[in-house]
A = this chain, B = another copy of it.
C-alpha cells in the first residue's frame, strides 16, 4: 500500500486542498474561495469537509501519512496559534491547530505559508538537489523561509524566516511591523505600487501616469509591462526592487552561507527586470558570495545565477522559484512526510 498526504494552502483569497503521493505526484486538487466574510468557523468547516472527502477517497488504496496546512500568518509553533494574520481577520490568537484536530480527529501540522513554499521548492522545485536553501516570497508582502537538511528552520518559537522585515534602509519608509525601511517596503507588489505612485506624484513619470489614468487596472504587473517596453521610470522601480533584494541577500549569504536562495511569489515574474540589480549588489556587498559565486555567472539569465553541477554544494546559487503558486501547497503536503 502506497503512502499519500494531504496539503492545504489557506490563503486570504483561495483555499486549496490537494493529495500527493510520496513522490510528489498530484493525486487530487480542490480549489475553494476562502470567503473570509462568511467567518472563521465556516472557512474551517469547508476546509475540514474537503480534507475528509479527499482522505476518504484515497484511503481504501493508500495510507494517509498526515495533513499539513500552510497559513498566512506568523505561527507560534509551540501553541499552534497564529500570532498575526492580517489576511485572515479573527484568526489571530485563536487555537487553530487544536480546533482543526478536534474536527478531523487526527493530528495536523500547521506552518507559515512562506515556510511551506520554501519546503515545496526544496522538495520538488528549484532546490531539489541542494541541502539547504532560503526562500523569499515576493507578494503583497515579503515572506521567507529557511530549509536546512530537509527541515524548516523554525527557531525558538516558529517565527524564523521573517526576511521581509530585514532592514534595508534604517531611515526608510515606515513598515507595518514597526520598523523602517524593511525589505518589504522595496520588493513587494505593494512597494512597487507605492514607488509608482511616488514617481507619478513627483510629476516626471509620463508612462506610469498614462497607465494609472487608463481603464486598465493599475497593478505591479502593468508597471512591469511598462518596464519591458523600456519606460525609464518603470525600469528604475524594478532596479530599486533588485537593489533592496541584493542588499538583503548579501546579508543573508554572509550570515548563513547557504547553497541556494530562491526568489518566488508573484513579483518574481519580473525577474528579468530586477535580477541584474541583485547580482550587481551581491558582487560588491557579499564577500561570501564573491568567494563562492559560480565561476561563469550568468546574471542576466532568466533561470539562475550560473550553471553548476547540482548538489556539489560549493556554489551560491540565486534563482527563481520553479513551482509558482503551488509551492506552498506542495510544501504543506510534504510536512507530514518529513515529520514522521
A interface, CB within 8 angstroms of B:
74, 76, 78, 83-84, 131-132, 144, 146, 153-163, 165-170, 177-180, 243, 247, 250-252, 254-259, 284-288, 290-292, 313-314, 316
Q: Which residues of B contact A165 (CB under 8 A)?
A: 254, 286-287
Q: Does the CB pair B170–A257 fall under 8 Å? A: no
Q: Does the CB pair B178–A284 fall under 8 Å? A: yes
Q: Does the CB pair B292–A159 fall under 8 Å? A: yes
Using known A-B contacts A251-B251, A255-B144, A257-B154, determine if residue A288 contacts B159 with beta carbons closer than 8 Å: yes
CB distance from A280 to the nearest CB of B (A): 12
Which residue, A76, A160, A255, A257, has most C-beta atoms of chain B within 10 A? A255
Q: Does the CB pair B290–A155 fall under 8 Å? A: no
Q: Which residues of B contact A313 (CB under 8 A)?
A: 156
For the complex of A and B, 3 pairs with smallest distance between CB atoms: A155-B257, A160-B257, A162-B254
Using known A-B contacts A178-B285, A287-B178, A288-B162, determine if residue A156 contacts B259 with beta carbons closer than 8 Å: yes
CB closest residue in chain B, given A292? B157
CB closest residue in chain B, given A315? B156
Please measure, in the bound complex, the distance between the C-alpha atom of A155 and the C-alpha atom of B257, giving whole angstroms. Answer: 5
CB closest residue in chain B, given A312? B156
Q: Does the CB pair B178–A290 fall under 8 Å? A: yes
24 A-B pairs, CB-CB below 8 angstroms?
A: A74-B291, A76-B291, A83-B291, A132-B155, A132-B156, A144-B255, A156-B257, A156-B258, A156-B259, A156-B313, A156-B314, A157-B292, A157-B314, A160-B255, A160-B257, A162-B287, A162-B288, A163-B255, A165-B254, A165-B287, A166-B251, A166-B254, A178-B290, A179-B250
Please measure, in the bound complex, the distance between the C-alpha atom of A24 and the C-alpha atom of B320, giving whole angstroms. Answer: 47
CB distance from A164 to the nearest CB of B (A): 8
Q: Does the CB pair B170–A168 fall under 8 Å? A: yes
Q: Does the CB pair A179–B257 fall under 8 Å? A: no
Which residue, A178, A250, A284, A288, has most C-beta atoms of chain B within 10 A? A288
Q: A167 contacts which of B76, B247, B287 (Cβ < 8 Å)?
A: B247
Q: Does the CB pair A162–B285 fall under 8 Å? A: no
CB distance from A191 to the nearest CB of B (A): 16
Q: A254 contacts which of B132, B156, B163, B180 (Cβ < 8 Å)?
A: B163
Q: Which residues of B contact A243 (CB under 8 A)?
A: 170
Q: Which residues of B contact A153 (CB under 8 A)?
A: 256
Q: A256 contacts which of B160, B177, B286, B316 (Cβ < 8 Å)?
A: B160
